[in-house]
Structure formats: C-alpha cells, structure tokens
A and B are shown apart, each in its own frame.
Chain A
C-alpha cells in the first residue's frame, strides 16, 4: 500500500510518522519519569519501515528478548511493542523496582514493573498517534513476552495476514545507565496508508535536523 504513494510523499509521510513517534515517545517518557521519579534521557528515535518482522528483529542492535506489546483495533489495527535486549530489560526493571539483587531473568516483581513501563510508554505513543490522526482505537491489555526472539514472535502473529511495520529505535538512559529499547508498531495491511492519509493534512513537514535528544526530568 505504501507503494501507492509517490516517493516524495512517502518520504514526507515517514518523516511525519517519525515526528509523531518522537512526540509520543516524549510524552510517554515524561509519564514514566513522573511515575518513577527518575531522570530519563531519550535519544532521537531512528524510524524506518519494513514488511518483515524478522528483518526488523535482525536490524536491531541487539536481539529483543523482552517485549511488552499491546494490540489495538479500530480505525487502525495492529500491535505496538516495546522491545528490550535482555540485559537492558532486566536493568531497567531492577532499577525501577529498587532491587539491588542482580537478576538473571525476570521474576514476578520485575515482570510486573516491566509490564507497567511498557504500558505507560506504549500508551503515551499510541495516544499521541491516535489523537493526531483523529482515530478512534480500542486497546487490549498489555502483554509481556520473554525469551528468545520474542519480538519476531509478536510481529509474526497469525492474527494478521501481513503487516506493515513502523519501527522507532530509541535508546534510554536512566540513572546514568545505558538501557536500549525499541518501540515497534506493526500495522495491519492498509493501516499505515490510512494513518498517513489522516495525519498528512494536519501536520507540517517536520525538519528532522531540528530533532534533538529529549530529556525528561521528574518534578
């Protein structure tokens, strides 16, 4: 479906999406910072599109072994996922839970924390997109998947015949710790075009060079 857009318009649309995601991630991070009372730094997300979940998984810097994802339906259908490499997921969860006991895998406590963090970030981002696109979306409860190539498993769900994937790769820094995470949104076939069509008239073409890293400080 993306191919139906001219190359120029496609580029513009992608830029717009990047801006939306940037704004959404920013809001999400602000919510998280507010919640946990810790300073969170976010890098400028790297955004690209693909049709292959495995390609996405392979393109990430590290294999995403911990994934919190939420399914959404309505004007747009798909799945939004927050994916962490194992070390980063454990580190972030332990940091937020205030645990100083090193963990080799997610336990009940850490998985609860990670699930809530995913819920906040995904809500923030999807809320922004839905608002900007004037879409009405219904959301399922967030789900946590761990182990192996969890992201590929989430994105290759049988629920959708095929998906167009929008990927925003964001790096977090929490309490001076380097924690990598990626937000991946998989839209069902046609949803991206719908999204682009709906947002394009409203949004100015963003200047990507004006993008800067965002810092969210809990008050």
Chain B
C-alpha cells in the first residue's frame, strides 16, 4: 500500500502524473473505507483537498455515503479480488458529489469501477466517471426517442387510419364507380328506350298518317265510287230514256204503217222517222260500247300512216251536208307546211274529228264552223299535227269546261235532251286521242263559241308510208244497185227468225238466191247437202243453240271447205272480230245490218272466192 501510494504520489509519468491527468475521480481506500489516495479530479469535483481527506473515512467525508448499498459489494472486492462495476443508471452516484460544490447544485451522476489494488495491505481503488452530461444527453435522447416513437405511433396510427379511410374511400369510390356504372347503364337503357319510343312514335305517326291518308283515299274513293255510281245511275237513266225515245218513235211509226188507210206521204215520213230513230239508237249503242271498252281498258288502236289532207277532207266532206242542213258554213283551212302523212288509227281519228265537227255543228245555231289543220313545231322531233274546230256557237261556262271530258258526267242533262246525243262523245274522243298519243284541248266563251283542238304526235322526218284506208274498200263502198248479188246462192244461218227474215229480204232484193238454217248443225248439213250446187257465201250468226257459229265455221274449215263465211253478230266488243276470224270466218259484220255494207261485203268475198278458185 505504501509503495502504491508512494507511487501514486510520484510525479513521474508512470504513476503520479497519470493519476492526476485522467479525467476520472480516483480514490484509494481500505476495507474500513479510510481514504488513502485522492486525485486532483476529485479535489476539483469535491472542493476537498487530498490532504484534508486522506486518512478520513468516506463515511465521515460524505455523511450521505450509501454504506448499506455498497458495503457488501466493496467487501466482496476486498475478499475475492473481483472488480465491481456500479452503473450510473442503477446507482446514480458512488460519492455524493454536488456539481459546483453548492448544496443546491444537482448531484453528479457517476459510473464507478472498484478494483482491488492489493490484498495486503488491503486496498481498493474506485474510479469515478462523471456521467452527468452523458446521462442528461441520454435522457434527452431517450425523451426525443420517446417523442419520435410517439410521433411514429401517431403517424402509424394516422397512416393506418388514413389507410382505413383510403380503403374506405376506395370502397366508397368503388361503390360510387359501381353506382356511376349502374347509372350509366340505366341512362343508356333510358336513352335506348327513348330512342325506341321515339322510333315507335315516329312509326305510329307514320302509320297514323298512312291510315289517315288511307281513310282520306277511301273517303275519296267512296265519294268517287258513290259519285261514279250516281253518275252511272244517271247515265243509265239517261240511256234508258235515250233508247226509249227512238224506240217509242220506231214502234209508233210501225204501228202507223200497219194501218192500210195511212196515206203514202205519211208512210214515207214514217219510214224515214223509223230509219232516223234506228240510226240514233245505233249511235247510242256504239258510244256505250266505246266508253265501256275504254273504261275496261279494252280499247285498242291500230295506228298507221295516213295522208293528212285526204283524211281531213274526207271528214269535212262527210259533215258538210249536215252543216248545210243547219244553214252553217263549214270552212276548212290547211296551214302550210304540212307533212304528207301522220300516224294514227284511221277509224278512231275519223271518230274523233267527226265528234268534234258534229258537236260544233250541233251547238252552233248560226254562223260558221272553221276547221284548220296545222303542223306545230314542224320538222322537229316534237312536231304535232293539230286539227282545230272553232265554232260561233253557244259556248260553255267554266264549270262545264272543267268536267267536259269526264265520262258519265253530264254537266247539264237538259243539254242532251235539247241537242241529242249521248253526252259521251267528248269523253270517248279524249280517251281515244290519248290512246293515240295526243290530246284534245278546249277554250270556250259562253255565248261566243268554242274552239276544240286535237293534236297528234307528228315528228319532222317521218318516212312517208301511205297505206290504203282499210274500210274504204268495204265500209265506204258505194251503194250497190239492186241485183248486185244476182245469181249468187247464199246460206243465212241465224236462230232469230226476224233477223233471218230481214237478211233474206235484203238478199232477195239484191238478187241473190238464199237458204236458211236455224243453227250451226243445220247449216253444216245444208252445206254438205248442197255439194252439187254449193253456196257462194254463208252469212253466219255466231251465238246459236245446238251448234254455234264458231264451232260450225271451224268444222267447215276442218272439212276443207273454203266457202266465204261472213260472221253477222251482235257481239261488237273488241276481240270479237278476232275471235270470229280465228274460228275461220272470212269477215265480220255487226248487227244491226246495214244493207249496203251487207251487200258490198258479200260481193267482195264472192269475188275474192272466185279469184282464188281461178288460181
């Protein structure tokens, strides 16, 4: 111990210098805690000089010395020589030293190590390290760490809550998205439904409009039908009257003729009246046939090239006697240039022009009827041939003009009564003109006169093809003198006795020899029986019992018999002629029979037959 203390007291570097230089408090003591060494650091910390403490017990120097706490550990150091560590945390201090030597100053926190310096004499050394600042720093650090941890926890908690709220908001978001999606779908559905609804509405509206149009059409059609029915009823009533009127005259005059006391002059007048009324009846029936054919779209036309001048003039010449009879002048003017021909159905053309001129004459009490022919837009593809009939007659008001060409509509039934005719002529003419590619136009002033113009297409460079006018050969044949059929043997086949009688009368008067048959079968037999002296011509009714004219003629032709067979029939509709010719008939005449036509046709076919036989 002495050597140690002496060593410690030395100022050499290997002992005393270090003892005082280290920043540790160093105290050497014995088992009784008597101080044997006290370095300068301890002097500095405690303010106690080494000289004052050496030799004193620690418990005397520091009355607060925790002997109870450290006694055992210090004792163990001396006994076993094992060092002891007294941590600052567990013990705070080994020696109760105040920083700054003031009683109020805080205690110095120390970390102490106690080592046995020697067993004999027993000495131990305690080294004290001032841990006050370190521990303070440690506490601050720990406090900061606690704060940091708290902040971290708070952050984690906030983070967790944020995550939760994010998750919640994500969930809400998803929900919202789902809702948006759903709403969009609903919106799309609604839009689609709206579109469909609008489309349906549009369809409904269209259907409704269509239905309304249909209703209107039906109403119009009903009115038209009713109107047509009314018109037809009126027409039928009128026709009935028109037919009854001449029939009454005919029957009356016939009654009168049966009286032998009637004077010859009256008989002549009676016959003339009967003839005129018969003609009128024919006119009525022909018009009815025409209009019914037109209405049924059965009317056919056969256009051919016609000479312009001849065709027009023939009509005018035909009508001139009627005009003259009424004291009217009938003028005709050809406006040059004119084409040599135009394409038209000759029969229908004559019918139209006769109707127009006839009307003009009929409705013009005095003055003139002018007919002009003019080539409109000559020498061009749009060229038209215009036939104009202008009169100085009674004229027509506008309301009459509007319905002038309507069939079955008579603006004024009284007109028909007054002027005669069926009232169908203009309707028929207009339809025929249209069938021929043309049109009738009219201007009229009441009390001044009317002008009718019918135009037909007549382009500028037509190849002039002139055809002979069919019908002129037969229908316009000159009246045959009595005896024209002299020497001819003719078979008259008709189931109606009156018709047979009338035909036989005309034949006999024309010098022919005749036989009769009541049906086709009988006719075939008579023809077969007359092989020695065959018939020159057969006049064949077509509608008969037992065997009709068609079958009889067909059988005759099948036998190889080429005797001319002239069909004499009341069937005057379109196609009837073709049907007869197809059955093998040579020609076709319609009832009632005009004597002249009958004779000329018979002569024609007899001559033709003779010519063929000669070949």
Residues of A within 8 A of B (CB): 31, 35-36, 70, 96-97, 99, 101-103, 107-110, 112-113, 115-116, 119, 123, 126-127, 130-131, 136-142
A100 to chain B, nearest CB (A): 8
Measured CA separation A107–B131 after assembly (Å): 13
Query: Which residues of B have CB within 8 Å of A112?
Result: 87-90, 111, 131
Measured CA separation A35–B71 after assembly (Å): 12
Measured CA separation A116–B141 after assembly (Å): 22
Given contacts A123-B76, A123-B82, A139-B82, contact A116 B87 (CB under 8 A): yes
Query: Which residues of B have CB within 8 Å of A31?
Result: 72
Query: Is A119 in contact with B83, judged by CB distance below 8 angstroms?
Result: yes
Q: Which of A97, A127, A131, A136 contacts B89 (CB 8 A)?
A: A97
* Nearest residue, chain A, Cβ from B85: A119
Per-residue interface assignment for chain B, residues 76 to 115, with 1 indicating a CB less than 8 Å from any chain A CB and 0 otherwise: 1000111111111110000000000000000000010101
* Nearest residue, chain A, Cβ from B84: A119
Query: Is B81 in contact with A107, judged by CB distance below 8 angstroms?
Result: no
Known A-B contacts: A116-B85, A123-B76. Give 12 more (CB < 8 A).
A70-B83, A96-B90, A101-B145, A107-B142, A109-B138, A110-B89, A112-B89, A112-B131, A113-B90, A119-B83, A119-B85, A137-B81
Measured CA separation A142–B86 after assembly (Å): 11
B238 to chain A, nearest CB (A): 129
Query: Which residues of B have CB within 8 Å of A140?
Result: 83
Given contacts A101-B149, A109-B138, contact A35 B83 (CB under 8 A): no
Query: Which residues of A have CB within 8 Å of B80?
Result: 123, 127, 130-131, 137, 139
Query: Is B111 in contact with A102, judged by CB distance below 8 angstroms?
Result: no
Query: Is A35 in contact with B90, judged by CB distance below 8 angstroms?
Result: yes
* Nearest residue, chain A, Cβ from B83: A141
Residues in B579-604 with C-beta less than 8 Å from chain A: none
Q: Which of A36, A127, A136, A137 contacts B76 (CB 8 A)?
A: A127
Query: Which residues of B have CB within 8 Å of A138?
Result: 81
Query: Is B89 in contact with A113, judged by CB distance below 8 angstroms?
Result: yes
Query: Which residues of B have CB within 8 Å of A139?
Result: 80-83
Query: Is B81 in contact with A116, judged by CB distance below 8 angstroms?
Result: no
Query: Which residues of A have CB within 8 Å of B135?
Result: 108-109
Given contacts A35-B90, A123-B76, A141-B115, contact A115 B85 (CB under 8 A): yes
Chain B contact surface mostly: helix
Q: Which of B83, B89, B113, B131 has the most CB of A within 10 A?
A: B89
Measured CA separation A101–B151 after assembly (Å): 13
Shortest beta-carbon contacts, A-B, top 5:
A112-B87, A116-B87, A119-B85, A123-B82, A101-B146
* Nearest residue, chain B, Cβ from A96: B90
B170 to chain A, nearest CB (A): 32
Query: Which residues of B have CB within 8 Å of A109?
Result: 88-89, 135, 138, 142
- B134, CB-defined interface residue at 8 Å: yes
Query: Which residues of B have CB within 8 Å of A123?
Result: 76, 80, 82, 84
Q: Which of A113, A130, A142 contacts B83 (CB 8 A)?
A: A142
Listed A/B pairs (5) with beta-carbon separation below 8 Å: A101-B146, A101-B149, A107-B141, A123-B84, A141-B115
B82 to chain A, nearest CB (A): 4
Query: Which residues of A have CB within 8 Å of B89?
Result: 96-97, 109-110, 112-113
Measured CA separation A188–B168 after assembly (Å): 66
Residues of B within 8 A of A (CB): 72, 76, 80-90, 111, 113, 115, 131, 134-135, 137-138, 141-142, 145-146, 149
Measured CA separation A131–B83 after assembly (Å): 16
A84 to chain B, nearest CB (A): 16
A30 to chain B, nearest CB (A): 11
Query: Which residues of A have CB within 8 Å of B142?
Result: 99, 101, 107, 109
Query: Which residues of A have CB within 8 Å of B149?
Result: 101-102
A109 to chain B, nearest CB (A): 5
* Nearest residue, chain B, Cβ from A144: B85
Measured CA separation A142–B84 after assembly (Å): 8
Measured CA separation A110–B76 after assembly (Å): 24
Query: Which residues of B have CB within 8 Å of A108?
Result: 131, 134-135, 137-138
A132 to chain B, nearest CB (A): 12
Measured CA separation A113–B149 after assembly (Å): 22
A81 to chain B, nearest CB (A): 15
Query: Which residues of A have CB within 8 Å of B141?
Result: 107
Query: Which residues of B have CB within 8 Å of A70?
Result: 82-83
Query: Which residues of A have CB within 8 Å of B83?
Result: 70, 119, 139-142
Measured CA separation A91–B172 after assembly (Å): 44
Query: Is B90 in contact with A116, judged by CB distance below 8 angstroms?
Result: yes
A136 to chain B, nearest CB (A): 8
Query: Is A127 in contact with B82, judged by CB distance below 8 angstroms?
Result: yes
Q: Which of B85, B88, B135 has the most CB of A within 10 A?
A: B85
B263 to chain A, nearest CB (A): 164
Query: Is A116 in contact with B146, judged by CB distance below 8 angstroms?
Result: no
B327 to chain A, nearest CB (A): 148
Query: Is B84 in contact with A36, judged by CB distance below 8 angstroms?
Result: no
* Nearest residue, chain A, Cβ from B145: A101
B254 to chain A, nearest CB (A): 151
Measured CA separation A31–B87 after assembly (Å): 15
B330 to chain A, nearest CB (A): 142
Query: Which residues of A have CB within 8 Å of B82?
Result: 70, 123, 126-127, 139
Query: Which residues of A have CB within 8 Å of B90?
Result: 35-36, 96-97, 112-113, 116
B457 to chain A, nearest CB (A): 119
A105 to chain B, nearest CB (A): 11
Measured CA separation A116–B84 after assembly (Å): 8
Query: Which residues of A have CB within 8 Å of B85?
Result: 115-116, 119, 141-142
* Nearest residue, chain A, Cβ from B91: A116
Measured CA separation A117–B449 after assembly (Å): 152
Q: Which of B72, B90, B134 has the most CB of A within 10 A?
A: B90
Measured CA separation A114–B343 after assembly (Å): 141
* Nearest residue, chain B, Cβ from A141: B83
B215 to chain A, nearest CB (A): 96
Measured CA separation A102–B80 after assembly (Å): 37
A112 to chain B, nearest CB (A): 4
B169 to chain A, nearest CB (A): 32
Query: Which residues of A have CB within 8 Å of B138?
Result: 107-109
Query: Which residues of B have CB within 8 Å of A101?
Result: 142, 145-146, 149
* Nearest residue, chain A, Cβ from B111: A112
Measured CA separation A112–B149 after assembly (Å): 23
* Nearest residue, chain B, Cβ from A126: B82
B71 to chain A, nearest CB (A): 12
Measured CA separation A109–B82 after assembly (Å): 23
Measured CA separation A109–B85 after assembly (Å): 13
A73 to chain B, nearest CB (A): 11
A68 to chain B, nearest CB (A): 9
Measured CA separation A108–B149 after assembly (Å): 19
Measured CA separation A141–B86 after assembly (Å): 12
Query: Is B87 in contact with A115, judged by CB distance below 8 angstroms?
Result: yes
Q: Which of B81, B111, B131, B141 has the most CB of A within 10 A?
A: B81
Query: Which residues of B have CB within 8 Å of A97?
Result: 89-90
Q: Which of A96, A97, A107, A112 has the most CB of B within 10 A?
A: A112
